[in-house]
Chain A
Amino acid sequence: MTNMILLVEDSEDDVFLFERAMMKARVSLPVYHARDGQEALDYLQAGGKFVDRKAFPLPSLIFLDLKIPLVHGFEVLRWVRSQPSFNHTPVVMLTASLEDKDRGRALQMGADEYLIKPPTQESLSRVFENGSVKIFPRQKGNALI
């Protein structure tokens, strides 16, 4: 699996803050930036302009905002978790929502982490270790099967 990251985020400012935090956390994995929920789904399904898997490889990690245009973050999460091919892919919510019910719902729907914006070097350490994606319990469990 190629080591790349899919970032689903509509705010350019938040993309900037994300990249800066990644830099500080010394993570240099390539990032594809989808600007709305539909683009994220297209990317994952290799639809439309994403048909070439070599140019648009499957991500090893998805950062997903909740409030994004076209398809809501929860819908993207639901779809991802319904696909056997993405069952192993860790999904990290990256949102401004401090609502406990959003956090609870995301984790219950299969998100692996719930980070509050803006991402920081410290909060990213819950996702990355020595520059690569941490192994989440979900992946461990599935690897045993």
Chain B
Amino acid sequence: MNSYFAAIIESSDDAIISKNLDGIIQSWNNGAQRIFGYTADEVIGKSITILIPEGLVNEEPAIIGRIRRGERIDHYETIRKRKDGALLNISLTVSPIKDESGKIIGASKIARDITGSKQAAEALRKAKEDLVKANEELEERVRIRTASLKEAVAQMEEFSYTVSHDLRGPVRAMHGYATAVLEDFSDRLDSRGREYLERIIRGSNRMDKLIHDVLIYSRLAQNQVELHRVSLNDVVREIIQQYPEMNDPHAQIIIDKPLAPVWAHESSLVQAISNLMNNAKKFVAPDVIPRIEIFTEQRGNNVRLWIKDNGIGIKPQYHSRLFGMFERVGQGNDYEGTGIGLAIVRKTVEKMGGTVGVESDGVNGSAFWIELPSSK
């Protein structure tokens, strides 16, 4: 029986140590060697205080005192020192050892190294604390960002307003006075003088259009749109009615079949389609009457609206740049444009959850498309 218990003690992971009432070590198992680093030969007969760090040496008299009174010490968490000086977190259970007569003659100590779990607990606590802190920081950052974003939007609106009111004033004056000079003093100017005035007028027209387009673009970026069922037939018809230059003899528009309805925001869609139709009409070779074909194509759950022209086309290498802001591809000054029109088209269509694109070989006209969810 004794050897059976001895085997259990020897194989225990915990340090099992006995000492007498003077604190002298009497037995020392494998667990104790593993945890504290001393062999049994090194420590038996030595004082238990070799395991106690300097600051805690008065723990020992207190423990011995309680043992003498027959008390047990359960799972007392403290710090002990290994042979190599490293400190360990230890959970101690100390019980009195009695002789046959019941007299207390020593103590058995079971020490468990809890450094690992202690560290894990500490790490967990720290992680939780960090998480809470990170959360608070994040919330604070979100709050600040939201506030500055709101401010930015408000400033942007104010800016747009200022642009539309104040920036256009001087342009209007330039245009107005140049026109007045041209009208009232034309007879006193030679053809060069008149040509310069016409250039001022064209420049101010372009400036006004540019400001107007930038405004539309910036407003697009801010606003959210609500989608409804929109009849492309109505939208296209409305655009044709609004722009007399879209009709004979200036242009030929062919819509051979009814157009499919889509999910869209109507005025945004009018903006996008009229920009595309204007481009289709504008970018044609001189002496060519613009011919614009409009049709829809069902593509899965989407409808693709095609606007196909007989214009000058766009070489494939420019297609990717075409929908960018201020991009004008390769026409020099022959064709007027602000370079914002297609950026507006893309922005409006993307705001409605759609896509845009173009097909053209750069010779035989262009075919622009807008794809939006079908509303069938």
Contacts and interface: CB of A to CB of B under 8 A. Distances in A.
Interface of A: 11, 13-14, 16-17, 20, 66-67, 95-99, 117-118
A13 B175 CA distance: 11
A16 B161 CA distance: 24
Given A16-B176, A17-B172, A96-B172, 17 more contacts: A11-B173, A13-B170, A13-B173, A13-B176, A13-B177, A14-B172, A14-B173, A17-B173, A66-B165, A96-B164, A96-B165, A96-B169, A98-B212, A98-B215, A99-B161, A117-B168, A117-B172
Contacts of B168: 96, 117
B164 A99 contact: yes
B153 to A, nearest CB: 15
A98 B164 contact: yes
B212 A13 contact: no
A35 to B, nearest CB: 15
Contacts of B173: 11, 13-14, 17
B111 to A, nearest CB: 79
Contacts of A11: 169, 173
Contacts of A16: 176-177, 180
Contacts of B176: 13, 16-17, 20, 118
Contacts of A20: 176, 180
28 contacts: A11-B173, A13-B169, A13-B170, A13-B172, A13-B176, A13-B177, A14-B169, A14-B173, A16-B177, A16-B180, A17-B172, A17-B176, A20-B176, A20-B180, A66-B165, A67-B165, A95-B165, A96-B164, A96-B168, A96-B169, A97-B164, A97-B165, A98-B212, A99-B161, A99-B164, A117-B172, A118-B172, A118-B175
A95 B166 CA distance: 11
Contacts of B161: 97, 99
Nearest to A66: B165
A29 to B, nearest CB: 21
A105 B347 CA distance: 27
A135 B169 CA distance: 30
Interface in B142-164: 161, 164
A142 B170 CA distance: 40
Interface of B: 161, 164-165, 168-170, 172-173, 175-177, 180, 212, 215
Contacts of B180: 16, 20
A105 B177 CA distance: 31
A22 to B, nearest CB: 13
A97 B176 CA distance: 18
A95 B172 CA distance: 12
A98 B209 CA distance: 12
Nearest to B267: A100
B132 to A, nearest CB: 45
A112 to B, nearest CB: 22
A20 B173 CA distance: 12
A13 B168 CA distance: 12
A13 B173 CA distance: 6
Nearest to A13: B173
A104 B175 CA distance: 28
Contacts of B177: 13, 16
- The list of the 9 closest CB pairs from A to B, nearest first, reads A13-B173, A17-B176, A67-B165, A96-B165, A118-B172, A96-B168, A98-B164, A97-B164, A118-B176
A134 to B, nearest CB: 23
A113 B371 CA distance: 38
A11 B169 CA distance: 9
A95 B161 CA distance: 12
Contacts of A97: 161, 164-165
A118 B175 CA distance: 10
From B172, B175, B212, B215, residue with most partner A Cβ within 10 Å: B172
A44 B77 CA distance: 92
A99 B215 CA distance: 10
A16 B168 CA distance: 16
A17 B176 CA distance: 6
A117 B175 CA distance: 12
A95 B164 CA distance: 10
A117 B208 CA distance: 12
A99 B212 CA distance: 11
A95 B169 CA distance: 10
A67 B158 CA distance: 13
A9 B34 CA distance: 96
Contacts of A17: 172-173, 176
A67 B212 CA distance: 18
